[in-house]
């Protein structure tokens, strides 16, 4: 059994550590408290995958020592401390965990917004610390009826907008990388004119930090805002120019600001702290118990998937120009690779051909999708040697034909991808789609309409459609102490049934053999994602 080494460079939630520890294919090294020089020079050379946070810089020296590394998981959203071009040059995939702290960041943004409007921290200080009861000093403003400008309408920005709408604010969103209907379907205003944002009463920013967004709000932009505007930044330090913000707060052009992030952190000597019309917090966007649990488990999950070659969720350096693809495409690429990997486990024979079909908007991206599917499908046989760059070459070398096609729209699903894997033993055809909030689901296998999640240990049991089969399956699994987590069932017109059984733990060969000997059984396959 092949084992992969995952090095945890910085502290993550114990739930993530337990996932790594419990996986029989993972050799887990906890190195969060190891001196960074020793980490880079002695431990990183052993790693197939590394999990990092802000305390470990993935720089030139780190990359030079990462001789065996497939991937790096940044446990969080920001990748400011990761040299992505350097990693790409060495073939190292960089992933982050962009949604794990979404709710925490959204709620902190609302906390700052409300605090700015009602000056809550200052009235609290007057009463709690100075014991002053002076109600007339603390007249604030209501969110109701105010116009909120949201810069960046992704996972966090869109949720801030939804919550602000519940306060009866009017929402104006600016994001050139999304389809306008993502905003307009929520009865909000989408704009391509940045001045519409600058005309708002409150402005909040939720973009990544890059060349395009650094100092996105500077002296010039502030001069075009209405007097008394409120600015919020719980995203990344430097999206607002701090000098320009300081001057605007001092002059009261900006009435109040809520800031969680700074250009230089710790920000204990930042001049903004000297002002009395600002609420501040020490980069607390991800600081909830729930988000730390999510970050830890998702980082571990991504590291395990990457180590095994199953998928590279939320890869930052994909082999395509991300600026040219819509946001919705990326999760389909990840799902396509998982389906390819799943199909190769169900149909464990020499691969002859891989065909990828797309219906809906995703049909425009089937060529890119086919690369990801090929990586997933061939990873079982090719192991560490296959990646996004060489997948086509390896397929050609092995005589595997890769094909893709765009089909008419599905009558049922907005977007649907279908992977047909042909081997020396036959074909396996699997279709999948993605529901709201990036929920990945299989919807058909070999003509059986069946829905289940792409995750965990799965038994695929095909049988003649006769009474008593489900009970026999349950009894057999119970006999071998295999606990069923979910059971999906489908039937076809040929008097056959297919059960997809998600179980808590790995299933051994003896259990599978006993299942195959059940009288109605036509086939049994096992897959693990």
- Beta pairing, strands 416-423 & 351-359: antiparallel
- C-alpha to C-alpha distance for 417 and 113, rounded to whole angstroms: 41
The range of the structural domain enclosing residue 73 comes to: 1-98+287-313
- HEC letters along 170-189: EEEEECCCCCCHHHHCCCCE
For 124-228, strand residue ranges (E) read 147-151, 170-174, 189-191, 202-205
Tell me, yes or no, whether 136 and 30 share the same domain: no
Q: Are 204 and 150 in contact (CB under 8 A)?
A: yes
Tell me, yes or no, whether 71 and 113 share the same domain: no
Tell me, yes or no, whether 195 and 69 share the same domain: no
Within a domain: 446: no
Find tokens 């349950």 and name the residue.
474
Tell me, yes or no, whether 179 and 43 share the same domain: no
Taking alpha carbons only, the member of 211, 110, 97, 213 closest to residue 152 is: 213
> In the prediction, which pLDDT does 141 show?
97
Within a domain: 208: yes
State the Rg of the chain over Cα.
26
Tell me, yes or no, whether 148 and 260 share the same domain: yes
Please count the other Cβ atoms lying within 10 Å of the Cβ belonging to residue 251.
10
Alpha-carbon torsion 49, 55, 56, 60, what sign? positive
Find tokens 């074909």 and name the residue.
427
- C-alpha to C-alpha distance for 315 and 321, rounded to whole angstroms: 12
Within a domain: 298: yes
Tell me, yes or no, whether 262 and 306 share the same domain: no
Structure tokens at 316: 């930052």
CATH of the domain at 160: 3.40.50.720
Tell me, yes or no, whether 76 and 139 share the same domain: no
- Give the tens place of pLDDT for each residue, 428-463: 999 999 987 678 999 999 999 999 988 889 999 999
Within a domain: 463: no
- C-alpha to C-alpha distance for 307 and 329, rounded to whole angstroms: 23
Whole-angstrom CA distances from 374 to 86, 265, 349, 419, 432 are 25, 43, 15, 10, 16
Tell me, yes or no, whether 110 and 23 share the same domain: no
Pick out the chain residues at pLDDT < 50.
384
Give the predicted TM-score (pTM) of the model. Answer: 0.65
Tell me, yes or no, whether 62 and 156 share the same domain: no
Q: Are 247 and 272 in contact (CB under 8 A)?
A: no
Tell me, yes or no, whether 259 and 303 share the same domain: no
Structure tokens at 416: 């649907």
Tell me, yes or no, whether 90 and 224 share the same domain: no
> In the prediction, which pLDDT does 155 show?
85
> In the prediction, which pLDDT does 186 show?
96
- C-alpha to C-alpha distance for 269 and 189, rounded to whole angstroms: 39
Helix (H) or strand (E) holding 448: strand 448-453
Within a domain: 152: yes
Tell me how many domains the chain contains: 2
Within a domain: 384: no
Within a domain: 324: no
Phi-psi region of 477 (alpha: psi -120 to 50; beta: other; left: phi over 0): alpha
Q: Are 83 and 58 in contact (CB under 8 A)?
A: yes
Among residues 313, 330, 357, the one where a domain terminates is: 313
Within a domain: 46: yes
> In the prediction, which pLDDT does 321 show?
61
- C-alpha to C-alpha distance for 441 and 448, rounded to whole angstroms: 14
Q: Are 207 and 155 in contact (CB under 8 A)?
A: no
Whole-angstrom CA distances from 439 to 102, 128, 363, 385, 489 are 16, 46, 19, 30, 20
Tell me, yes or no, whether 49 and 29 share the same domain: yes
Q: Which residues are identified as catalytic?
A: 236, 265, 283
Q: Are 344 and 311 in contact (CB under 8 A)?
A: no
Whole-angstrom CA distances from 199 to 149, 173, 245, 388, 424 are 8, 12, 17, 45, 64
């Amino acid at each position: 059994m092949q084992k992969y080494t995952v090095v945890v460079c910085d502290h993550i939630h114990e739930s993530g550590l337990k996932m790594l520890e419990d996986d029989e294919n993972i050799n887990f090294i906890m190195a969060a408290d190891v001196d960074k020089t020793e980490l880079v020079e002695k431990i990183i050379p052993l790693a197939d995958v590394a999990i990092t946070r802000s305390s470990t810089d993935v720089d030139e020296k780190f990359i030079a020592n990462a001789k065996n590394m497939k991937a790096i998981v940044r446990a969080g959203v920001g990748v400011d401390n990761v040299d992505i071009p350097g990693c790409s040059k060495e073939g190292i995939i960089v992933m982050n965990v962009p949604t794990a702290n979404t709710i925490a960041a959204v709620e902190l943004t609302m906390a700052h917004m409300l605090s700015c409007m009602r000056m809550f921290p200052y009235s609290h200080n007057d009463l709690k610390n100075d014991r002053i009861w002076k109600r007339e000093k603390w007249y604030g403003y209501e969110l109701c009826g105010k116009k909120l400008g949201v810069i960046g309408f992704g996972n966090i920005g869109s949720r801030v907008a939804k919550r602000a709408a519940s306060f009866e604010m009017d929402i104006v969103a600016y994001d050139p990388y999304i389809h306008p209907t993502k905003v307009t379907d929520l009865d909000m205003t989408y704009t391509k004119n940045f001045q519409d944002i600058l005309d708002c009463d409150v402005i909040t920013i939720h973009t990544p930090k890059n060349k395009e967004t650094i100092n996105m709000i500077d002296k010039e932009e502030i001069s075009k805002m209405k007097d008394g505007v409120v600015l919020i930044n719980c995203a990344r330090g430097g999206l607002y120019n701090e000098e320009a913000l300081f001057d605007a707060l001092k002059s009261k052009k900006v009435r109040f600001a809520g800031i969680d992030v700074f250009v230089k952190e710790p920000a204990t000597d930042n001049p903004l702290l000297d002002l009395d019309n600002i609420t501040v917090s020490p980069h607390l966007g991800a600081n909830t118990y729930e988000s730390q649990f999510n970050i830890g488990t998702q980082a571990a999950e991504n590291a395990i998937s990457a180590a095994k070659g199953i998928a590279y969720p939320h890869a930052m350096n994909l082999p395509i120009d991300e600026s040219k693809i819509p946001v919705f495409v990326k999760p389909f690429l990840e799902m396509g690779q998982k389906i390819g990997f799943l199909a190769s486990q169900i149909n464990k024979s020499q691969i002859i051909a891989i065909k990828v079909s797309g219906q809906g908007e995703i049909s425009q991206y089937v060529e890119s999708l086919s690369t990801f599917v090929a990586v997933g499908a061939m990873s079982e046989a090719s192991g560490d040697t296959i990646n996004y760059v060489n997948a086509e070459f390896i397929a050609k070398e092995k005589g595997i034909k890769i094909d893709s096609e765009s089909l008419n729209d599905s009558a049922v699903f907005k977007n649907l991808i279908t992977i047909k894997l042909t081997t020396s033993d036959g074909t396996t055809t699997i279709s999948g789609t993605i529901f709201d909030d990036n929920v990945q689901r299989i919807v058909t296998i070999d003509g059986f309409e069946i829905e289940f999640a792409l995750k965990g240990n799965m038994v695929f049991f095909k049988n003649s459609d006769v009474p008593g089969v489900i009970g026999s399956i349950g009894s057999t699994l119970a006999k071998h102490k295999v606990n069923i987590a979910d059971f999906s069932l489908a039937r076809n017109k040929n008097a056959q049934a297919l059960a997809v059984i998600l179980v808590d733990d790995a299933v051994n060969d003896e259990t599978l053999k006993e299942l195959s000997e059940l009288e109605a059984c036509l086939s049994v396959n096992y897959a693990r994602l």
